Amino acid sequence: MTYAVRARLTSGLSTPCTLVLSLALLAGLAGGCSGSGGSHRSQSGRITARSNENLPSNSKSLLSPSEIGVTVGGGLNYSLPGAFKAVSKAGVGWVRMTIAWSWVEPEKGRFDFSKYDLAVTAGRSAGLEILGTLGLGVLWDTAAPPGVLGNERLDYPPNSMSDWNGYVRSTVSHYKNSIHYWEIWNEPDLEGFWHGTPGQYARLLANSYTDIKAVDPSAQVLLGGLSLAGTPGQYDPDFFSQILSNKAYPAGKFFDIANFHQYGSEHEALIRDSYVNSQMTQIGLHRPIWVTEVGYSSDPSLQKLAGYSKGTGQGNQAGYLRDMVEYLEHGLRVKKSFWFSIQDNPKLGPEFSNYGLLTSSNLPKQALKEIGQLEK
């Protein structure tokens, strides 16, 4: 399995009912869990907030490009410059991409940013702001035990924090004039992306925050996008509370923006958002929230959510994008939403290969056109 596949920046599409209910209890919410993936839907299938208590009276007010982004999934490819131009023209304002440690420093002390320079330049030339994700690990400096082989070793914390610090400082310095928002790792509450403890992540986050601010004081640091469900690997439901309460490295001091990923129904989105907010409120922490992955397949065979499972595959995907992004940003007051992913990509595997706003040949899908409608 290639690094690009392992770092595909995805989480599971659906959440088991037991997990949804456990999150609801943690968030102090009451509510059911339907087998179809959500309970509060109108007959038309459009997402609704419970009795509209979360929606302002002008819930149909327009979104701006500064609120909508896309994620590059499956690694870099030569068609990305054209993809950046296409989504920017449609009204997307941001792109999220991983500046992978294993790509920019394949050997200790030998940095090569050339691959990412092309992508970053293309994104900025298309008028997109960039959210850079730092991670995952490298084969030459990993805490993975000897019995762990291959690219799974990339999911472990670095063996030397000073090596990680060097990567962070060098990367942020290199892109200081192009990137001012940095996310630390991806889905660290999932074993499939983080084979460390919450305490080890809290230390990694604290070191990253300190290094980033030292290089670029104006930069904003994002918590690694919490999956709060899904796959790959075991999900840790106590991860967020444990990093916030870490005595040596209390995470609340080391991120400017909270961050979770949303796959599934509006009910699940409400539970996740309420949980993140409640955990921060308990310690007197107030941070804006972004959703750096939200997505739905255009493959009809994978469309299981009620209200988005009949009709055409692209039509269902477009409807989900319209309704979910509108709900996240108007109902839950999430500051930014990043669609996963910018393009269809077979490297993402069968479950996620058709999540793109564009086909693999950069032809626009119906979901991309829907973004333009959100802004009119």
- Condensed to tens digits (0 to 9), the pLDDT of residues 121-172 reads 999 999 999 999 999 999 999 999 999 999 999 999 999 999 999 999 999 9
Alpha carbon separation from 80 to 116, 118, 309, 343, 349 (Å, rounded): 11, 10, 30, 9, 19
160: tokens are 């030397």
Cis peptide before 265 (omega within 30 of 0): no
Q: To 5 degrees, how large is the angle CA 224–CA 225–CA 230? A: 130
Q: What is the pTM of this model?
A: 0.86
Helix (H) / strand (E) containing 171: helix 161-174
Across the range 41-69, mean pLDDT stands at 49
Which sequence spans correspond to the domains of the chain?
62-130+160-374
330: tokens are 């108007």
Residue 276: name the closest of 337, 230, 202, 223 by CA: 223
Across the range 44-71, mean pLDDT stands at 54
Q: Give the tens place of pLDDT for each residue, 305-357.
A: 999 999 899 999 999 999 999 999 999 999 999 999 999 999 999 999 999 99
Residues 106 and 90: their CA atoms lie apart, in Å, by 36
Predicted local distance difference test score (pLDDT) of residue 376: 63
**What is the architecture of the domain spanning 62-130+160-374?**
Alpha-Beta Barrel (3.20)
